Amino acid sequence: MTSDRLTADLAFIGHMCLDEVIPFGGSPRVASGSAVLCGALAAARIGTKVAVITRMAPKDEEILEPMRQAGIAVHVIPADVTTYMRVVHPSADVDDRQMFQLANAGLFTGSDIPALAVRQVHLAGITDQEFDLEFVRGMKARGYRLSADMQSFVRQVDPVTRDISFGDVADKAEFAQLLDMVKLDVVEAKVLTGTDDLERAAIKFEEWGSPETLITRSDGVLARVNGKTYWEPFSNRSVVGRTGRGDTTFAAYMARRLDHNPADSLRFAAALVSLKMEKAGPFDGALADVLERMNAIAVR
């Protein structure tokens, strides 16, 4: 992408990566992945105009092809390497994961980001190696409506072992104040707030300044919006496509939320990610598929 200006409904910023997934009792596989890929494809395939800004090695640009084929405008910031992740599932519990970052494409800086004409910018990081507080402050100062996945700060990479552990974030309250929307899962919520009660955790973020908070769990997703709590269960029949669950849920919610209320947007997101979890890889359906699942759930 050579244009100096990206125009879209949603812009996703974050590393592309190669994911080596080792499932419990299954065969290892390597595929392109990342929060950006899962989120951007989900939003684009339901008709949202999407842009992506990523850092990666230009030699690996073939992994961007699915996004380009989906009509996503992609801006690549060259890096020496493409981020490489290893995800190990040591048990049948799909939320039990051991993660390692074996290669890292480096931090984003304000000067990396081209001019954006977008309705919302989402910071879709994989670990704490992508965004720092200065970057988030700078993006907010540019006037963008801003959201972030808190895994971008909670997932912390050991510089020696490359093991990813979950740690508290000293500036979490300032992040909550800077962001218009916050995304977490139940593990990240407990690390940051001290509780795995989804509503209590969301209220804590609200007290810190977040007007809109989404928290996913294996059985569903909760939203806390301007003092009101919403909950939607997932309806997936299998978990073969569990990787990318939270990224997909939040992308679907953001896209729907551009023109719909929180309750409808949450139902939509839960339906879309339920379809996604029934197949490996990013969501590959269409808007009609999601609406059909929503209707099927409504008549149960």
Q: How confident is the model at residue 300, as a pLDDT?
A: 64
Determine which helix (DSSP H) or strand (DSSP E) holds 157, and give its type and residue range.
strand 155-157
pTM passes above 0.75: yes
Is 237:222 a contact under the CB 8 Å cutoff? no
Residues 183-198: pLDDT tens digits? Answer: 999 999 999 999 999 9
Least confident of 52-66, 79-93, 131-145, 156-170: 79-93
Whether 228 shows a pLDDT value over 70: the answer reads: yes
DSSP state letter for 163:
B
Buried b (16+ CB within 10 A) or exposed e, 120-137: bbbbbbbbbbbbbeebbe
Nearest CA among 111, 148, 118, 108 for reference residue 5:
118
Residues 54-72: pLDDT tens digits? Answer: 999 999 999 999 999 999 9
Whether 275 shows a pLDDT value over 50: the answer reads: yes
Whether 3 shows a pLDDT value over 80: the answer reads: no
Residues 243-265: pLDDT tens digits? Answer: 789 999 999 999 999 999 999 99
Superfamily of domain 5-298 in the CATH hierarchy: Ribokinase (3.40.1190.20)
End-to-end CA distance of the chain: 46
Is 135:120 a contact under the CB 8 Å cutoff? no
Nearest CA among 168, 269, 167, 255 for reference residue 215:
269
Q: How confident is the model at residue 1, as a pLDDT?
A: 41
